Structure 1
């Protein structure tokens, strides 16, 4: 089923603003800062170390910026030296403190290096690195925080006496949580007056009052690009009595504390920002109460779209410019993709992972896993205008119709049954797969292999689309190894009030040999071996097997393991061969796990991609392949989570990566080229692809969740060249790899995705 063509004449115009709400990551450069940098490059370009007039003028610019930094931070007689940014400031501070400790004869496991559990990774990684390089061999410990992100003072009182360095932060980059520096200082100094103290002040500048000279803070790094200056410039405060060893030596710039020709344009730009920041009548930086008002407006807009939203940090523990929230039933990527499609730039603040990412900051605060995995950070700067706030709120509120339409939240609104609410839907959580078969005409559906983490999503689809469930099916059961798999089907039945009394252990209606959904017929086949209780569900259309839900009997790129308590290699081989008699070589085989991100396989592909599978299907005795399978399974047991089988990964790629500059020419040269949008439906609605493409007559919407449906329905045909597009180019590249496996010869990927078009 194809989406209606969109002609160039009726193509929708770009209708959204680029709403940037990720200021904790980086900020745009203020016009006054850009002008100062340009003037410096063109008119005050001298080397500050030169003694002639041009150099003297450059030196004056540098020292003026230093004076401003001193006044804004209340540095007093402390040293201010310009750096490339916060990471350099942190590194040089840590090195200075550790060298001083070594000179004092301190080190070894008895000496502690303490850091807040929610610190930016630059701090603990720097501690680990230089503790090893300098061979101090001290013990590094994280200071716990409570659910409000506040450091544990009892822990500090207990461990600070043995500490040589304590690292904390003024305001957290993910949550906006600020530490009570006065109380923290009293706690630290009461326990150890001599310990060195580093405070990461990157997120504090422009958001908190700082009077460093009135404290015993030894080191305080700052970064320019977090407050409207260019990247590559920052400064470091060093208390007058604190030890400091130059991290970079050479020509003796910065009074010998940081050699290398100064980044004068960056310093000039930073100086312009600091000058504006210290003005009491600034027309750029907003009063604190105005920032709190902006935050309240933004939170209200978010709650309008997501009524169940929970804030992960809140007053009185935060600076006003950060909103960290989670929504039940959503992972951070879901919301990020939705917002980005609508032109709203936010971030997750989560650690990168091949699994569902989670926030180590929220984990340290002891918040529930779903909040950590769904955490979203919305951050604005202290120079936000009332118009920018209003535009952001309007853009966020406009998403309510999108999330309602696509059942991201359940409403009383009449459901809109578009293309994506029909046919086969493949939902994924990490390596696990759940399937829905939906017939939009009759509003009937089946669920196969529900996963606990996807239950809420499935409930939203069923209730939002007002679907009548014919069955909730499972292909296999692991009572001991996978209790969550068992509870998922039960939880779904209970939530949807689905009668399970007339079903067998797999959810199959008793006394029924075949289930019918529109023109599709489903039958079951006993396929034990991976475990004692397993079936495969064969999907036929007009007597032809078009797909089979095979559980963990066959995996995309591998075979199910047989070393479980109820596994049996000989039985598994019999099941695979029996299944092969019921399906075609090109029948799509849909597994309950997809470790290699291949989405599906076929008998033909399985034989090509796995020597082991070929032996099994060829009927070789189990003695010829079971030992190999067990050895490979043993390696999988060392992984961090449960695996149900072996996957051998093959390397594939797109036929070609297209850059933005090539796009118009390729589309003109190849009129048969089909543009395919593989983003999820809510992204496609929030930000249509057509408005960014030149003279495209048709865009086919095939979300990754409908990729298998497009294969079995013939919506995608191997003979036609395809150009796949997603938000960043990553998901479309994954789709390219999948389609190449299935025989698509010409599959292009748009390099960088839609992000390079907007």
Structure 2
């Protein structure tokens, strides 16, 4: 097959995030190099070298017209889709203002699932040009299509309508014909902008046959380099240049043209226009690839739910969620195996969800767990097969680590002894396992993690001894109620789940005792954890937080009781005893009594027995701040400014590992470690300890790490290892290095 059939890359990864960007087509890369080194003329020059450049530029424009069916109107080369959107919005808004349509009664409409570049551009230029119109989203249906009835109701006041051809997250293909009929029937003089970034090469576009006024495109979404794009402007549509100067592009967009980028577009357009032996697949082939990829995904996640599906989508996008999984779980798993997909939501410590799926009205768990797998129209059968094999290979890893319920042999499932810390947003839940007795206790479960706990308990064949809450407010904990159905024995329990007949819970070498600690709530207990008769930790709910004190203004709160409970706790624990809370707003994971006193000056007078009036006012002020910040916060936490650690660049790693007797801590989760061993990425041989972030506190609890030990922390991106380093620094560890960029920059 000819060279243009191949992508210009040599990777050991499976790249399935083509809606974000694509590798450069080999023929396009060759055209860029040829233009940069040989055909490098300035199209504005009048000599032969310049003339040849001008001819090449116009040839590309002609190909674009053929491809889009745009025999009329303008094709203007830009730096990308964002510039095209800005230019279109400015042109339309200036025309709207000239027609006297400025003011809040005039509507600027955009689809609720549009790329943020569109509404943000509308907001910016609406203010800057002092049009001061009202910007309003057009609702979408549950399938992602625009609600045409809602659009029709808004159109009488609309001056500009912005929609998209295909959605970047879901792949939903809008019915442009139906949208056009509604717009031109109700408001024929409204300007219409259609974001076509995800459409080229994936769906037919005959722009001249429509009344679309503006259509921006981007090169790097279709195997071109970044920094090149083009804009279609319908003949007769108002146009105002965003960039003026030397008069290039017929005065429509000044600045010397990006001729290498335009040469790449020429190569891509040539491939798209081929009727046979093209690098680009026919639509039926793309649907076949999608079916194969979906089958592979279902071997890993049988409960997978599609968030968009045929017949409403282009075939190159798969957007799915898996019950019981957050997007970050799957993203980390895939990335460790060298499979590049993206999340439908921003990956951070705070679960935010996908605004696109939220606009479609889908359940919150689907929004928070959405994964986008996108392949390009130049995918080959071999690439599809490799992707399917790599994805299917993760089924064993998922079963091994109890990520989904399975009947697999329990011997294949690790059941390490000790404490596991789970987090959902700022909520903390804990699982204590005794591998010898095959028993477990869950503390402070939250509902989004309940299915994960069920999978672990049933998948490992554990006997669940108790499901404990540290405190309750006005209602029962639904997660705890659900999980108590798994208890090994149906014994009587108090409201917090403690077995009434027991004064101590024993799991092999672990002992758990409870003390009443009201104050934050009138139904509150703390649980003291001993290992081989030595006190190691305390689970205190929201009595004390990593960096703060629980509030007393919620239902059942009592400042006097809070003081008494804190005093009681301080008399029972050691200064270095690990203290676990049910919330962690500053990503600190754990604290100790001595650390809490150092970080929270208010705690010392409370423990000293100071009169209530001396600290009650401060506590109330903290509660007021919390109420203003969020109704869900249960205590005040301030992030310490002393969390800085030493950062290591990947290029420095060989020297550091050769010079320092470093222990490398792989703080990725076990399923990531199974999917891709860290030793495969390190430039030199080193001692590696697999210590997931969820097990970090257990390692400290069991003295598996020494505070003077030199440690290099590594994760996928450098973020979790940074958190781990901060936790260890606060616990007294002094020789800490963090690999900046993590495994991502080593791969």
**TM-score (norm: length of structure 2):** 0.97
Give SS of 1:625's match: helix
Partner of 2:98: 103
Aligned to 1:32: 27
2:481: which partner in 1?
490
Alpha-carbon contact 1:107-1:137 (below 8 Å) kept: yes
Alignment of 1:686-705 (within 5 A): 686-705=675-694
Pick one of 231, 238, 242 that aligns with 2:226: 231
Q: Cα deviation per residue 1:636-682 (whole Å; 9 max; x = unaligned)?
A: 112244111111220234531111111111111112x1100000010
Of 598, 607, 613, 1:617 maps to 607
Q: How much has 1:17 moved relative to structure 2?
A: 3.4
Partner of 1:748: 737
- The equivalent of 1:649 in structure 2 is 639
Q: CA deviation at 1:415?
A: 2.1
1:280 aligns with 2:275: yes
Counterparts of 1:430 and 1:500 in 2: how far apart (Å)?
A: 32
Query: Does structure 1 residue 388 correspond to structure 2 residue 383?
Result: yes
Q: Aligned equivalents of 1:708 and 1:509: distance in 2?
A: 27
Q: Distance in 1 between matches of 2:155 and 2:322?
A: 38
Name the structure 2 match of 1:149: 144
Q: 1:209 aligns with which of 201, 204, 209?
A: 204
Aligned residue for 1:76? 71
1:10: which partner in 2?
none
Structure 1 residue corresponding to 2:236, chosen from 241, 245, 248: 241
Matched, 1:567 2:557: yes
**C-alpha contact 2:402 2:413 (8 A) present in aligned 1:** no
Instruction: Go from structure 1 to structure 2 and tell me whether the alpha carbon gap of 1:291 and 1:417 turns closer, same or farther (over 3 Å shift).
Output: closer
Q: Sort the Cα spacing of 1:282 and 1:194 in 2 relative to 1 into closer, same or farther, 3 A.
A: farther
Equivalent position of 1:11 in the other structure? none
The separation in 2 between residues aligned to 1:626 and 1:253, in whole angstroms, is 70
Report the equivalent of 1:4. Answer: none
SS at the partner of 2:318?
strand
The secondary structure found in structure 2 opposite 1:647 is coil
1:675 aligns with 2:627: no
How big is the shift at 1:94? 0.4
Q: Given that residues 80 and 236 in structure 1 are in contact (C-alpha distance below 8 angstroms), is that contact kept between their aligned partners in structure 2?
A: yes
Cα offset, 1:542, TM superposition: 3.5
C-alpha displacement at 1:497, in angstroms? 5.7
> Aligned-pair distance for 1:272?
0.7
Distance 1:433 1:151 in 2: 39
* More relative contact order, 1 or 2 (CA 8 Å, 6+ apart): 1
| CA deviation profile, 1:611-655 (whole Å, cap 9, x unmatched) | 111221222222111111111211111224411111122023453
Q: Which runs of 5+ in 1 are unaligned?
A: 1-15
Q: After superposition, give the CA deviation of every residue in 1:120-139 in whole Å (9 maximum; x if it has no partner).
A: 00011111111111111111
Pairwise CA distance, 1:498:
5.4
Q: Name the CA distance, whole Å, in 1 between partners of 2:141 and 2:318.
A: 18
Give the 3 Å change call, closer, same or farther, for CA 420–66 of structure 1 in structure 2.
farther
What is the match of residue 502 of structure 1?
492
Equivalent of residue 421 in structure 2, options 422, 426, 449:
426
In 2, Cα distance between the equivalents of 1:421 and 1:463?
15
Output the CA distance in 2 between the equivalents of 1:403 and 1:563. 43
How far apart in 1 are the matches of 2:393 and 2:35? 43
Listed as ranges, the matches of 1:77-476 within 5 Å are: 77-351=72-346, 354-416=349-411, 421-476=416-471
Q: Which runs of 5+ in 2 are unaligned?
A: 1-10
Q: Does 1:685 align with 2:674?
A: yes
Contact 2:466 2:484 in 1 (8 A): no
| CA distance in structure 1 between the aligned counterparts of 2:684 and 2:224, rounded to whole angstroms | 39
Call closer, same or farther: CA 1:244–1:478 in 2, change over 3 Å.
same
1:289-320 CA distance string (max 9 Å, x none)? 10000000000000111111111111110000
TM-score by structure 1 length? 0.96
Helix, strand or coil for the counterpart of 1:534?
strand
CA contact (8 A) 1:417 1:465 kept: no
Give the whole-Å Cα distance in 2 for the aligned partners of 1:724 and 1:418: 26
Which whole-Å CA distance do the structure 2 matches of 1:205 and 1:55 have between them?
A: 30
Q: Report the secondary structure of 1:535's partner residue.
A: strand
Aligned with 2:656 (options 666, 669, 674): 666
State the secondary structure of the residue aligned to 1:545: strand
Aligned equivalents of 1:360, 1:603: Cα separation in 2? 41
* Alignment check: 8 A CA contact 2:22 2:220 kept: yes
Partner of residue 523 from structure 2, selected from 508, 533, 538: 533
Q: 1:416 to 1:613 in 2, by over 3 A?
A: farther
Give a deviation string over 1:94-132, Cα, whole Å, max 9, x none: 010000000111111111111101100001111111111
Shift in Å, 1:354: 4.8
Residue 672 of structure 2: SS of its match in structure 1? helix
Q: Answer whether contact 1:655 1:745 (CA < 8 A) is retained.
A: no
Q: Distance in 2 between matches of 1:419 and 1:509?
A: 28
Question: 1:50-100: per-residue Cα shift (whole Å, max 9, x none)?
Answer: 111111111111111111111111111110000010011001100100000
2:7 alignment counterpart: none
Do the aligned residues in 2 keep the contact of 1:530 with 1:553 (CA within 8 Å)?
yes
Aligned residues: CA RMSD: 1.3
Distance 2:638 2:312 in 1: 49
Contact 2:165 2:194 (8 Å CA) reproduced: yes
